[in-house]
Structure formats: structure tokens, C-alpha cells
Structure 1
Amino acid sequence: MNACATNPGRALLLAVTVPPEWAWAVAVRNTVVLNVPVAPSDAALGGYVAVCAGAEHEPALAPWLATWCAVEVPPTAELRACAVVAVGQLEVVSQYPDCPQSPWYAGPVGLWLGDVVPLPEAVPCEPDSVSTYWTLPEDVRSAVRAAYSAVKQADAARRKLYEERAAAALNAPTLPGLRERVLKLCTCRRAMTPCPVCRALRCPNPACPPHTCAQEGRQP
């Protein structure tokens, strides 16, 4: 399959089962690649993949990820199993030797996901242990789509808020800086200095009216 091919047609949602250790790595955005035995159909490109944590753990994965990817996998008891944990868009399908260089790629086929969205809560399901690509049950698919949409809508709302705040900041009046707050300027725009006798501010510009010391003015 051409690793650079894309499909502009209707987006699909395929489920792919991976070990819980690998599903966790996808959900925390350590990796965007799924290693599978066979490539999907061309129609899958551009569609979406529901990353499902399988029922069987692979104890050898934790030390392998620590050695080759510098990732510490949580204890087995903390890993979700039999649940959809993330959804990503299928952007590239690669096969050896035509594949990107990555410690996460083990092949023989790599599914490279874009815009991976971890679900706020994993959606329980019974993973297909036979088929590489399978369809989620309707209730599970509805729950996954709802969770995915909620995350995307929240991201869009957050991005809109940031843009509104940025626009407001650009249009806000310029506040006086430290120089303006500390220095007192005469009408001639020169900085005024305190009189050593009465501490009143005076302008050192000879062209300005001379300073009359307040204490001197009170003397008989």
C-alpha cells in the first residue's frame, strides 16, 4: 500500500486491538503508531481508529518500552483493559522497508495516527481477539463518538476563548510603564527633580520658571 495515499471519502471508524501497555502509551500521547500484522483497505486512510486495550497483557512490553522508548509503563493493575481509550485519524500506513524511523515502529505494518484524542473515560467493550480491524458494537460506538465529540468541542471552546483574550489584549490601551509611573515630567518634557531643601519637585531646565523654595518663601 502507498504510505502517502489518502482517502478523501467518508470517514470510517475502525477498532484496532492492542495490548493494554501499548494502548496506554497511545492514550498519554507517547506514541502515534500501532503495529499490526496486516494493512487495512485503502478506504480506511483518512478515517478514524478506535484504540482498544485488549484483554491480554504483554509483560515483555514494559521492559521493551523502557529500554527502547525511555517510557515507564504503570503497573499492570493501573492499566485499562477491554476498553477503548483513544481515537486518532489514520494518516499513514507503512510497511517495511518503506517506513518512518521510529523506536515505536516494530511492524510489519504501522498505522500512523494524527490528532490523537484520549477519551476522558475509557469506554468498556469486548475486544475482537481474531480480526485485526473490527467494528465496535453500536452502543460502544455511540459512547466513543460522544466522548470524542465532547473533547473536540471543549478544545474548540478553549481555543476560541484564547483567541478572544488575545484579540482583547491587542486592542487594550497601553498602560503606563515604570518610567511614566516613577518620573514626573515638566511641561517641557524634562524630568523634574526634588528640591534638596523643601523636597518639592522642580524643573532643571533654565528656560522654565525658576523654582521658589517653599521653605524660603515662609522665611521673613
Structure 2
Amino acid sequence: MSPCDAPMRVPIYGVTAPQPWCWALQVRNAPVLNLHRAPPADVLGAYVAVCAAAEYVPELKDWMASWHGPGVSAPPADELPTCAVVAVARVSAVSLWPDGERQSRWYVGPAGLWLEDVVALPEPVACEPGPADVLWEVPAPVLARVRLALGAVVGEGKARWAAYEALAARSGGREPASLRERVLRMCGCRRALTKCSTCRTWHCTAPGCPPHTCATGVSP
């Protein structure tokens, strides 16, 4: 199961963060979500739906922009959603103060969920936020909408990658498909190059490619 497919098949827990911290997680400025309680032992590797709390905390915005904070300018309250799931992410590590090995200005403890593979949803999914200090179960109707939105993002990513590979193949930039292609020197037209017996340079004999002019036959 690839990392892209994983969130579509495994449980997704809910986590709540106040704005603008939730925004910082969504745009990958903040690598960690702080909790007041230690999460379950099996949370490592799990996926979480990041839900914006009902409140916007101006003090967080001030701290983010301060010299002793991360130095990030967060959007104002009227530009950020509340009571909605805005992203899905994977829990890559858990820190428990004071024994946490990871260091960041964003980590204030006592427990920290370090998030990776953050996928911002195209549109916020309305949801009543759960408790801010624990993981919580996302209501089934909300979870269905989250998975649907997440699937759309993942599908678009796969489509872009497939289009890129197709373009690379048409442009001669694809990986050799066979041992013969790996051994032979290939022209951009996909025909094998031929070495000139006189000047020993490689050239293409295809009618549509420029004719080879032997360097030894050119007068100074």
C-alpha cells in the first residue's frame, strides 16, 4: 500500500487545533500538534483529520510573528475557517515532555504529534470539533466527506504524475524499457545511433534527422 493510498484505507482520527495553529499545520509551517494528554501507544503511523476549533486565538498569531516564535505571519480571523476539517496528515513521531528527542519552536508539549504527508483538503469539511487534548472519533458523515475530498486530491496527483510520465516518454526522457535500449545509444527519435567509422562520432541515420558531416572531411 503506497503512502498516497494509505489514508483511504486506514482509520482516521480527529484532532483539534485552534486557529491560526490549525492553519499552520495545514500549510506545513507547523510540524507538530501539541496535546495536553499523551496519545494512545498505537497512534504512531496513524492518520489524523486536522479540525479547526471554534475559536481564533489572537495571542497565537502574535507569538507566531514574534522574535521568540517561528516568525510566521498568520492570516487574520476572518480569512480562516473554524469548526471544520482542513487537512489529513500522518503521525510520524510522538514526543512526551521532557523526554522528546525532536526540537522545534512549535513544540511546547506536554505531548506532541509530529505530522508528515500533510494533505490540505480542497474545501473545509464542516465538523463539530472534538476535545482539544485527545484524539477523537470523527463522525461517520464527516469522515465520508473527508475521505471523498482526500480521494479527489490523491486522484489529481496520480493523474498529474501519469501525464508527466507520458510526456517524458513522448519526449524521449523515459527510462529504457529493455536491455537493448539500455545498451544502445538512442537518438531523440528513438532510433539507435551509429558510430562513424572515420571520425568515430555517433550519429542518427533516420531520414528526418540532420545528416552527419564527418569532421575529418571538413577543410579548415
Q: Identify the TM-score tier after normalising by the shorter chain.
A: 0.7 to 0.9
**Corresponding residue SS for 1:54:** strand
Q: Percent identity?
A: 44
Q: Which residue of 2 aligns with 1:134?
A: 136
Task: Give the aligned CA root-mean-square deviation in angstroms.
Answer: 2.6
How far does residue 131 in structure 1 lie from its aligned partner after superposition?
A: 5.7
Q: Which residue of 2 aligns with 1:69?
A: 70
> What is the identity, as a one-letter code, of the residue corresponding to 1:50?
A
TM-score normalised by structure 2 residue count: 0.72
Counterpart contact for 2:86–2:120, Cα < 8 Å: yes
Tell me the alpha carbon deviations over residues 59-82 of structure 1, each in whole angstroms, 9 at most, x when there is no partner: 100111112111101111111100
Q: Which residue of 1 aligns with 2:39?
A: 40
Shift in alpha-carbon separation, 1:130–1:115, aligned structure 2, 3 A: closer
Counterpart contact for 1:11–1:46, Cα < 8 Å: no
C-alpha separation in 2, matches of 1:65 and 1:114: 20
**Corresponding residue SS for 2:45:** coil
Tell me the alpha carbon deviations over residues 171-206 of structure 1, each in whole angstroms, 9 at most, x when there is no partner: 5339x9xxx99xx9689641xxxxxxxxxxxxx56x
Shift in alpha-carbon separation, 1:130–1:35, aligned structure 2, 3 A: closer
Larger Rg: 1
How far does residue 129 in structure 1 lie from its aligned partner after superposition?
A: 3.7
**Corresponding residue SS for 1:72:** coil
C-alpha separation in 2, matches of 1:46 and 1:188: 64
Counterpart contact for 2:35–2:133, Cα < 8 Å: no
Which residue of the other structure, out of 138, 146, 149, is the alignment partner of 2:148? 146
Following superposition of structure 1 onto structure 2, how do residues 35-114 of structure 1 map, counting pairs within 5 Å?
Answer: 35-67=34-66, 68-96=69-97, 97-114=99-116
Counterpart contact for 2:15–2:132, Cα < 8 Å: no
Counterpart contact for 2:35–2:132, Cα < 8 Å: no
> What is the identity, as a one-letter code, of the residue corresponding to 1:69?
P
In the alignment, structure 1 segments of 5+ residues that lack a partner are: 1-9, 191-203, 206-220
In the alignment, structure 2 segments of 5+ residues that lack a partner are: 1-8, 174-187, 191-202, 204-208
TM-score normalised by structure 1 residue count: 0.72
